[in-house]
Amino acid sequence: MRPLLGDFLATASGHIGAATGDLRVGADAAPSVVRELARLTAVMVRCADAFVQDDRGDSRHLLDAQELAVLDARSALRHAHACMRAAWGALGDGDDEAQHAAAACLSAAADDLAAGHDLLQTHFATDQFGWRHATSPWAPAIASPQVGAALITEVGGYAGRLAPWALQLAAAVPDRRLPPRARAAIGSSCRWLWVAEAAARVVRHGPGAVAGQALLPSIPVNLPPLRCSPRGGEPVPRLCAGTAITAERLGHLAYLTATRGYPPRATLATGWQRTAQAAAITGHCSELILRQLTEPAARLSRSAAADTAINLAAQATGGSWQAWRAVARQWDIFTTSPGTIFTPVAAEIGDLTLWIGRLAHTDPAWAPARNHSSPLRPGAAFADSGTTISAVVIALHHAGDALTRIAAHDREGVRSAAATEDLHVPTRLLPADTDVPYRYVPAPSAMIDELLATYDAAAEAGMRAATTLDRLVLTLNSQPTALITLRAVAPLNTPCLPPIPAARAAPPAQQPRPGQVAQALRNQGINEPALLARAAELDDKTRALISTITSISQRRAEASVAAKHAPEGQHPARLAARDSSPATGAATSLPRLVPIGHQIRHSTPTRRRPNCQ
């Protein structure tokens, strides 16, 4: 089992509940509690700020109520943390190292919340300039406004529970243990925590917030599920579970391959054809299952709307597998360099075919071979097998979603191979009167265009099928599944996030040093917590700005050096284009695959089409 964000959030919430449930915290516990509160609020700020794509705090555009509430909540959390940090600073050097029960609970809550934050960060990789690039199919969802709002809501809820307790604590501790300055800072911090909670309540009721809240606990650590191959004889519930797990794994592997590039010495053309034919067979079996579900015996206690939705899904799935078959047929005539290994998706997509094929057929060892052809599983058998029709449809939904993602990623891989002239056609397939003394010729551009158009059609048909399955699942279930929510909030893109705001992220292992603005206030004898908090914020922003400017300068300098040393013919604009887009970078990092021992003629002798179906 992969750890989920929900596991950490639940534990953090439990620890906060344990801490705030204790209203008899002794006076001697105050320093350690304040220290842990400062640390916990730091982590809360980190969570609230971590996945903001565009900080529109000083935007000139009008923001809606939801956006304003998000900004207010984040700002209030920062103030709350700055005040709590100031309170801890005001306690002086006599740190209490003793770990009191409430402090231990707060510490554990901070640890869990930090672990949850780190779990989310595993879905991004940081480049040399601090920018974070998506590395998993979950990343677009994590960077979405809906999940951001859900995270603010969660953290705002913690703030609302901490505020009254901390205030009560500050009031109960005698002056000798809690100096007035610290007491005032705690009071300010609590007020800001209340502001954060109030803003989070507005966020919670905003549009799309429910989807984000449903998705938040389901976000896993960035690891594909373990490979799960069928062994034969699995019951229907296990076949459904295996289908869903394998589909998620394949979607993950496709994403990784697309972002990291294909392995060197991969047999690309064979892999792409195998993927397409496995997708076609998987879709074919999915359609057969959906058609079986419309049998009269399987229709008991189902609404007419569900029947209509099943029929529409079957029709769309039929269109999807036929589009995939067209892709498989296109690959009959193309080839790339010979290799020794398959791409991860091509190596494992057969598992998905077996899972769905065994769900569709009665042979427990079904395989795409003639001696395993068997009657279809009757629709009523799904309901009789201890599972629900809904579980079967959800499994097909997972498969359909994975195939849609694979179509989009493979299409980009093929486009890259075509751009680097890695697609060839065996000369023997050309018409007999073609006089070419080579075994291969580069694939003519008209044929490549046709191949890419076929992939586009497969991606579009897959999208249509997945959308009809979305509707079917929603018809059969009152609550949307995590996959439906994920598909709704996360388009198929790769977000790129700015660097994590520095300075605030580090827990206060030692008393914080004031920045220039904060120091200037102190020099003037100003100790008002709200002003100090504002000064600390200005210092943080200044540091972030300087860091960004430094990054840009370094980047420009490196680009300039690279342009100077670029070999002849490598235009600087090309370098810049490669540098600016992660997708382009991944594409250009593909190894140039030249067939070993192949004689390739680099001018196209004929545009006539070879003999293919």
> Which residue, 88 or 440, has its beta carbon nearer to other proteins?
440
CB of 295 to other proteins, least distance (A): 16
Could you tell me if 320 and 458 are in contact, meaning their C-beta atoms sit under 8 angstroms apart?
A: yes
Could you tell me if 413 and 257 are in contact, meaning their C-beta atoms sit under 8 angstroms apart?
A: yes
Instruction: List the interface residues with other proteins, window 251-280 (CB under 8 A).
Output: 270, 273-274, 277, 280
> Comparing C-alpha atoms, which of 349, 465, 477 is closest to residue 396?
465
Query: Judged by CB under 8 A, does residue 426 bind other proteins?
Result: yes
x/- string (CB under 8 A) for other proteins, residues 580-599?
---------------x-xx-
CB of 270 to other proteins, least distance (A): 6
Instruction: List the interface residues with other proteins, window 539-558 (CB under 8 A).
Output: none
Query: What secondary structure letter does DSSP report for 122?
Result: T
CB of 316 to other proteins, least distance (A): 18
CB of 331 to other proteins, least distance (A): 7
> Which residue, 51 or 440, has its beta carbon nearer to other proteins?
440
Instruction: Report the C-alpha gap between 5 and 612 in whole angstroms.
Output: 51
By CB under 8 A, name the one of 369, 478, 524, 602 that touches other proteins: 369
Beta strand segments in 241-301, E: none
Could you tell me if 414 and 455 are in contact, meaning their C-beta atoms sit under 8 angstroms apart?
A: yes
> Which residue, 374 or 588, has its beta carbon nearer to other proteins?
374
> Which residue, 350 or 495, has its beta carbon nearer to other proteins?
350
Q: Which residues pair with 134 in a beta bridge?
A: 124
CB of 464 to other proteins, least distance (A): 21
Query: Judged by CB under 8 A, does residue 295 bind other proteins?
Result: no
Query: Judged by CB under 8 A, does residue 613 bind other proteins?
Result: yes
Instruction: Report the C-alpha gap between 486 and 483 in whole angstroms.
Output: 5
Contact residues for 268 (Cβ-Cβ < 8 A; gap 6+):
262, 336, 337, 339, 343, 413, 417, 422, 593
Classify residue 301 as left (phi > 0), alpha (psi -120 to 50) or beta. Answer: left
Could you tell me if 340 and 267 are in contact, meaning their C-beta atoms sit under 8 angstroms apart?
A: yes
CB of 425 to other proteins, least distance (A): 11
Contact residues for 281 (Cβ-Cβ < 8 A; gap 6+):
321, 353, 357, 368
By CB under 8 A, name the one of 206, 220, 357, 480 that touches other proteins: 357
Instruction: List the interface residues with other proteins, window 304-333 (CB under 8 A).
Output: 325, 328-329, 331-332
> Comparing C-alpha atoms, which of 38, 45, 37 is closest to residue 502?
45
CB atoms within 10 A of CB 124: 23
Structure-block tokens of residue 300: 């008991």
> Which residue, 253 or 327, has its beta carbon nearer to other proteins?
327
Instruction: List the interface residues with other proteins, window 56-75 (CB under 8 A).
Output: none
Could you tell me if 292 and 377 are in contact, meaning their C-beta atoms sit under 8 angstroms apart?
A: yes
Helix (H, G, I), strand (E, B) or coil at 592: coil
Helix (H, G, I), strand (E, B) or coil at 341: strand
CB of 70 to other proteins, least distance (A): 50
Number of residues in contact with other proteins, rule: CB under 8 A?
39
CB of 336 to other proteins, least distance (A): 10
Could you tell me if 91 and 31 are in contact, meaning their C-beta atoms sit under 8 angstroms apart?
A: yes
> Which residue, 68 or 341, has its beta carbon nearer to other proteins?
341
CB of 368 to other proteins, least distance (A): 3
CB of 318 to other proteins, least distance (A): 12
Beta strand segments in 232-330, E: none
Instruction: Report the C-alpha gap between 83 and 512 in whole angstroms.
Output: 12
By CB under 8 A, name the one of 3, 338, 499, 508 that touches other proteins: 338
By CB under 8 A, name the one of 123, 284, 405, 411 that touches other proteins: 284
Instruction: List the interface residues with other proteins, window 429-468 (CB under 8 A).
Output: 429, 431-432, 437-440
| C-alpha dihedral sign at 178, 184, 190, 196 | negative
Structure-block tokens of residue 162: 């901490």
Query: To 10 degrees, the CA torsion angle through 477, 221, 581, 149?
Result: 60
By CB under 8 A, name the one of 205, 231, 265, 428 that touches other proteins: 428
> Which residue, 255 or 331, has its beta carbon nearer to other proteins?
331
By CB under 8 A, name the one of 218, 374, 385, 584 that touches other proteins: 374
Instruction: Report the C-alpha gap between 407 and 513 in whole angstroms.
Output: 53
By CB under 8 A, name the one of 370, 564, 565, 602 that touches other proteins: 370
Query: Judged by CB under 8 A, does residue 509 bind other proteins?
Result: no
Residues lying near other proteins in the complex (CB under 8 A) are found at: 270, 273-274, 277, 280-281, 284-285, 288, 325, 328-329, 331-332, 335, 338, 353, 357, 368-371, 373-374, 426, 428-429, 431-432, 437-440, 595, 597-598, 610-611, 613
